[in-house]
Structure 1
Amino acid sequence: MRWLIAAALLVIAVIEWPVEATDFANRLDPPSGTHLLGTDQLGRDVLARVLGGVRWTVGLGAGAVAVSVVVGVVVGLATGWLDGTRARVVATLVQSVVDLVVALPALLVGLVTAAVLGPGLVPAVTAIVLMGWAPFARLAHRLTVSVRGEDWVLAARSLGAGPVWILRVHVLPAIAGPVREALTARFVGAMLTLAGLSFLGLGVQPPTPEWGAMLAEGRTYAFVAPWLVAAPAAAVVLVSALAGRGRVR
C-alpha cells in the first residue's frame, strides 16, 4: 500500500500540469464539468494547481525528510557507537543538542530561519531539515546502543572489522525497520510544516502552486469561492491520511 501511494504521487508530480494557464473570462467559476474543482481569481484551473502542487508540497517535504534522515542516522550511529570516557562526553553533548532541537516547535524554527534568511523555498526547507534530523539521531543512537553488544557485532569486531564497515553492513540494516516507520510520520510533519510556513508567507511564494500558498491566496475569496480553500486543504488531509494508512499497513 505504501509503495502504491508513493508511486501514484510520483506519477502526478512528474506530469506537467497547466498550473499557470489563465482564463479571465471564467474567473472564480464554481466546480463544473469544464473545471472539476472550479477556477481561481485569475481563471486558473484549481484541479490542475492542486495536482501540480504535489511536486512542491509532497516533493519538497519528502526531499527535506530524506536529507534529515541521512544526517540524523549518521549522527545517531556515530554517537551510539562511541566508547570510552571522552567519546561518551561527546555523545552526551550531541544528544543534549538533539533533545534541545526536538523540544523546539517547528514553526518557531521556521519563523527564526525566515527572519535570518528571508522568506522563500530554501529557508523553509532549511528549517524543516534543522528540525527533522534530531528525532532520527535520537532513534538511531538508541537503537545502535542496543545492538552494539550483540554477539554478531562482537564477532565482527573480533575478526578485525572496522567500525565503519560494521555500522554499514551490520548495524544499519538492523535499525532500518524502526527508522523507516519513523520516516513516514516525519514526512507528514514536514509536509504540514512546509504548508504552514507557505501559508504564513514564509515558505514557497505565489504563484507557485504549493498547497499552503494556495490556501493563503484562497482565503481572501473563501466566502465567495470556498473551493479555493477546500481543494488544497483536502489535498493536505488526504495525503496525510494516506501516508498514515500506508505506515500502519
Structure 2
Amino acid sequence: MRTVLWRASLASALVCGIGLLPWLSRTDPALTVLKARAQDRDPDPAVLAAIRDQLGLDAGPLTLLGRWLGGLPRGDAGRSWISGAEAGPVVVQALGASLLLMAVALLVAACTAAAVCARTLYRGGRTRPGGTGSAMLATLPEFLTASVLATVVGVQLGWLPALGWYGPQYTVLPALALGLPAGAVLGRLLDDQLPGAFAEPWARAAAARGLPRARVARQAVRRCLPGLLPNTALFVVGMTGGAVAVEQLYDIPGLGRTTLQAALAQDLPVLQAGTLALLLLAALATGAARLAVRLLTGPALRDGALPAPPRLTPAVRRTPPLLLGGALLAVLVAGLPRDPLALNTTARLRPPSWAHPFGTDALGRDLLARVAHGALDTLLLALLISAGTLLAGLLLGLVPRLSGPLADTVNAVPPVLAALLVTAVTGGGPATPALAVAAVAWAPLATHTSALLRQERAALHLTATRALGAGRWYLLRHELLPAVVPSVTRHALLRLPGTALALAALGFLGLGAQPPSPEWGRLLAENQPYAERAPWAVLAPAAVLAVLGALAVTSAGALHRRRPARLTGASETAAEAEPRTARPVGTVREKAVR
C-alpha cells in the first residue's frame, strides 16, 4: 500500500507540474496559443483578452488543473487549445501509432539480443571478449541510428520509405532505429551474465547427464532473465515516449511527438493527457515485468529471488581498445588545429579529400574540425553526467522501495519534455540540456542496481555469512557492493555515448546548443537536410560516435571481478583452458557435478 501511494503521489506531482508549465515558464499562455494558431497575427491586447476568456486562463492555473482532473473520471480530458479537438481521441490515436511502432521495435530488439548472445549460447558459456560490432551498435542512440538508416537505406539506396506513416513498410526503418540499439544493450547485459549461469552446478550436472545443449541454453537464459526484465520494462516505455527524435525525423504521429508539439505550443490539455498516458504505460510495463519475474522464479522463491549468476573474469584483450582509442585520438589531433567556424562558400558540400578528410558542410566549413571541437564540449559534459548518474543510480538502487516508483515515473518522461520542464523552472541556459539528461539518466542504473542486489541477497554464501554474525554494513561493503558495482559501472559505460547523443538530440530538436556551435547534435541537425547530396556530412560524425561507443564498451572489460570459489563455486573463467581431467578430484566443482 505504501508503494502504491508513493507511485500515485509521484504521478500526481508530475501531472500537476505539467499543468503549471505555462505559468512556470513566466510567459503569457494566451500569447503562445495565438502564435501557434496564427503566426502572422499581431498580439493585439483585445485578441489576447479574448483568448484568455475563451480558455479560462483568468481563473488561474489551479482552477484549470482542478477542472481537468474533474473531467477525467468522465473520460473528458479537455479540448486542445490550438485545434479545439478533444484531447483524449488525439492522444489515443497517437498512442496507437506508438504502440504499433513499439511492437515491431521489440521484435527487432529480441532478434538483435539473440544474435548478440548466440556465440555464448552456442559455446555453452565458454566465450572470449569480443563483440566490437555489438558494442558499437549498443552505444548508438536511436536519434543517430535513425539518421544513418534514413540517409543510407531510405535516401541513398531507396529500399524503404524514409518519411511518413502510411503502411507497414513505413514502420521498418524507425523500428530498426529503435530496436537495434535497445536489443544490443539488452544482449550485452544478458551476455554478461550467461557465462556465470553456465558455470553453476546445475548446468554442469545437466551437461554431465548428456542433456541437449539447446535445452541447457534455454534454462541458462531463463536463469538470467529475472535480473534483466526490469531494464526491459524501461526500454518498452522508452520506445514509446522517448522516441521523440525518431518520430520527428520520420514524421510519425506518435505519442512522443504529439506530447512534444503540445509542450512547445503550451497546449495544456493535450500535454497533460499525453503525459498521463505515458505514466499509465510505464505502470503497466513495470507491472508486467514484475509478474514475469514472479512466474520465472516460481512459488518457492517469490519472497526472495534467485541468486545472481557468479561473475566470471574472461581474459581481456587489449588490442581493440587500443586501436579504437588511437582512431579517436587521431581524429582529435587532426581536427583540433583546424578552425571549426571558418567559412568558404566556394567549397560547399565538398566530398572527403586530403584537404578535408571528412568533407565540408553547407557553408564550406571543415567537418573534421567541427567534429573534433564538438567532442571537447560534448564528451566532457557526458563524462560528468555519467559519473553523477552512476553515483545516483547506485545510491538510489540501495533503497528500491523509494527508487523503484521514482525510476518508473522518471522513465516515463522523455528527455525532451524534461528539458522543457527544466527550462520552465530555471529559465533556460547552457546548463539546461545537462540538467534534463541527468534528471532521467539515473533511472536505468538504479533499476539495474536494485535487481542485482535482490539477486545477490538471495545467494547462499550471504546467508552463511549473516549466520556467522556479519552485520548489514559489513555485508554491504564487503559482499554486495563489490558484486554489483562492476556490472552497473559497465552499464554506465555502455550508456556513455548515449548520454552524449542525448545532449545531441536536444540540440537536434532545437533545445540545446545554438549555431554556430559545433556541438554534435547541432552538427547532425544542420547536415541532415543535405543527406541526399552529401551523405558524408552525416555518416562521418556517425562513424566517430560509433568508435567512441565501441571504445567505451570494450574498455569496460577490465571491470569484471573474480570471486573466490569458496563463495560461488565458480571462480574459473568462462573460457576454461584447463581440461577437466587435469583438475584435482576433490575440488568443489567436481563434487558439485557428482
Q: Same fold by TM-score, threshold 0.5 exceeded? A: yes
What residue identity is the alignment partner of 2:348?
Answer: L
CA RMSD of aligned residues (A): 3.6
Structure 2 CA distance for aligned equivalents of residues 64 and 12 of structure 1? 25
The reply to whether residue 198 of structure 1 matches residue 507 of structure 2 is: yes
Decide whether the 8 Å contact of 1:50 with 1:209 is kept in 2. yes
Highest relative contact order (Cα 8 Å, sep 6+), 1 or 2?
A: 1
Structure 1 CA distance for aligned equivalents of residues 331 and 535 of structure 2? 25
Q: Note the C-alpha offset of 1:148.
A: 3.8
Task: Map 1:147-186; keep pairs closer than 5 Å.
Answer: 147-148=456-457, 150=459, 151-152=461-462, 155=465, 163=473, 166-186=475-495
Match of 1:24 among 338, 344, 350: 344
The reply to whether residue 131 of structure 1 matches residue 131 of structure 2 is: no
Q: Provide the residue aligned with 1:35 in structure 2.
A: 356
Q: Provide the residue aligned with 1:99 in structure 2.
A: 408
Q: Note the C-alpha offset of 1:220.
A: 5.2
The reply to whether residue 228 of structure 1 matches residue 537 of structure 2 is: yes
TM-score of the aligned structures, taking structure 2 as reference length:
0.35
Q: Provide the residue aligned with 2:371 in structure 1.
A: 50
Q: Provide the residue aligned with 2:288 in structure 1.
A: none
Q: Note the C-alpha offset of 1:244.
A: 5.9
Question: Helix, strand or coil for the counterpart of 1:196?
Answer: helix
TM-score of the aligned structures, taking structure 1 as reference length:
0.74
Q: Count how many residue pairs are aligned between Structure 1 and Structure 2.
A: 236
Match of 1:109 among 408, 413, 418: 418
Decide whether the 8 Å contact of 1:120 with 1:205 is kept in 2. no
Structure 1 CA distance for aligned equivalents of residues 327 and 478 of structure 2? 31
1:64-119: CA deviation from partner (whole Å, max 9, x where unpaired):
12211111101112x1xxxxxxxxxxx52432112211233333323433444455
Structure 1 residues 118 and 190: alpha-carbon distance in aligned structure 2, compared to 1, 3 A threshold: farther
Decide whether the 8 Å contact of 2:324 with 2:551 is kept in 1. no
Q: Note the C-alpha offset of 1:131.
A: 0.8
What runs of 5+ residues in structure 2 fail to find an aligned partner? Answer: 1-317, 559-594
Q: Provide the residue aligned with 1:63 in structure 2.
A: 384
1:47-79: CA deviation from partner (whole Å, max 9, x where unpaired):
1211222223333323312211111101112x1
1:96-146: CA deviation from partner (whole Å, max 9, x where unpaired):
112211233333323433444455541111111111111111221222233
Structure 1 residues 11 and 237: alpha-carbon distance in aligned structure 2, compared to 1, 3 A threshold: closer
Computing the radius of gyration from Cα coordinates, the structure with the larger value is 2
Structure 1 residues 245 and 158: alpha-carbon distance in aligned structure 2, compared to 1, 3 A threshold: closer
Give the % identical residues: 34
Structure 1 residues 138 and 58: alpha-carbon distance in aligned structure 2, compared to 1, 3 A threshold: same
Q: Provide the residue aligned with 1:73 in structure 2.
A: 394
Decide whether the 8 Å contact of 2:418 with 2:436 is kept in 1. yes
Decide whether the 8 Å contact of 2:331 with 2:368 is kept in 1. no
Structure 1 residues 146 and 5: alpha-carbon distance in aligned structure 2, compared to 1, 3 A threshold: farther
What residue identity is the alignment partner of 1:205?
Answer: Q
